[in-house]
Amino acid sequence: MYLLAQYCPLCTRSVQSFTALFLSVRTEKSERKPSEVLSSHPSDPTVSEMLKMLRATASSSCYSYCCSSTQRRRRGMPFLLDSTTTTLDVFLNSFHSRSSNPSTSRNTHLVTDPEMPKVVSNLEDALEVLDEMLQRRPLPSIIRFNQILCQLVKMKHYSRVICLYKQMGLRIIPNDCSLNIIINCHCRLDQMGFSLSVLGKFFKFGLQPNVRTFSTLINGFVMKGRVLEAARLFSKMVDVGCKPDIVTFDTLIKGLCIKGNTRAALQLLRKMELSPDCKPGVFSYSTIIDCLCKETLIDDAFDLFSEMISKGICPNVVTYNTLIHGVCQLGQWKQATRLLNEMASQNIYPDVRTFNVLIDAFCKDGMVVQAKTMVEMMIQRDLEPTVVTYNSLMDGYCLRGEMEEAREVFNLMVSLGSMVDAQTYGILINGYCKHKNINEAVRLFQEMSHKGLFPDTVTYTILMDGFCKQGRIQDAKKFKAMELLREMEGKKLHPNIVIYNILMDYFIKAGKVEAARDLFFGLSSKGLHPDVKTYNAMISGFCKGGLISEAENMLREMEEKGCSPDGCTYNTIIRGFILNNEMSRVMALIHQMVERGFSADASTMKMIIDLLSRDKVDPALLPLIKG
pLDDT at 425 over 90: yes
Supply angle C-alpha 530, 562, 255, rounded to 5. Answer: 85
| Residue 77, pLDDT score | 29
Q: What is the pLDDT of residue 69?
A: 34
> How far is C-alpha 595 from the chain's CA centre?
37
Q: How would you classify residue 241: left for phi > 0, otherwise alpha for psi between -120 and 50, otherwise beta?
A: left
Phi, psi of 573 (to 5 degrees): -75, -35
Is the backbone of residue 581 left (phi > 0), alpha (psi -120 to 50) or beta? left
Q: Within 10 Å of residue 334's Cβ, how many Cβ atoms? A: 14
Which band of pLDDT confidence, cut at 50, 70 and 90, is reported for residue 510? confident
Amino acid identity, position 16: Q
Give yes or no for a contact between 575 and 543, defined as CB atoms under 8 angstroms apart.
yes
Q: Is the pLDDT of residue 593 over 60?
A: yes
Say if CB 198 and CB 183 are below 8 A apart.
Answer: yes
Contact 420, 410 (CB under 8 A): yes
Compute the distance between CA of residue 114 and CA of residue 381 in angstroms, rounded to an integer: 43
Asked whether 305 and 289 are in contact (CB, 8 A), the reply is: yes
Q: What is the per-residue pLDDT across 37-53, written as a single tens digit (0 to 9) for each?
A: 333 444 556 666 666 66
Q: No. of H helices and E strands in the chain?
A: 33, 0
Amino acid at 50: M
**Taking 90 as the threshold, does the pLDDT of residue 321 lie above it?**
yes
Q: Quote the pLDDT of residue 7.
A: 31
C-alpha R_g of the chain: 30
**Segment among 38-47, 153-162, 261-270, 525-534 with least mean pLDDT:** 38-47
Q: pLDDT of 359-399, one tens digit each?
A: 999 999 999 999 999 999 999 989 999 999 999 999 999 99
The least confident of 198-202, 332-336, 545-549 is 198-202
pLDDT: is 553 or 605 the higher one? 553
Instruction: State the CB neighbour count (10 A cutoff) for residue 29.
Output: 12
Domain limits, the chain: 496-561, 566-627
Averaged confidence pLDDT in the chain: 79
Entry pTM: 0.71
Q: Give the ranges where 435-582 is alpha helix by DSSP (H).
A: 438-450, 457-469, 473-474, 480-490, 497-509, 513-521, 532-544, 548-560, 567-579
Query: What is the Cα–Cα distance from 627 to 605, expressed in whole angstroms?
Result: 12
Give the pLDDT confidence of 127-146 residue by residue, as tens digits: 888 888 888 888 888 888 88
Residue type at 241? G
- Other Cβ atoms less than 10 A from the Cβ of 191: the count is 18
d(Cα 261, Cα 273) in Å, to the nearest integer? 19
Angle at 315 between CA 310 and CA 316, to 5 degrees: 170
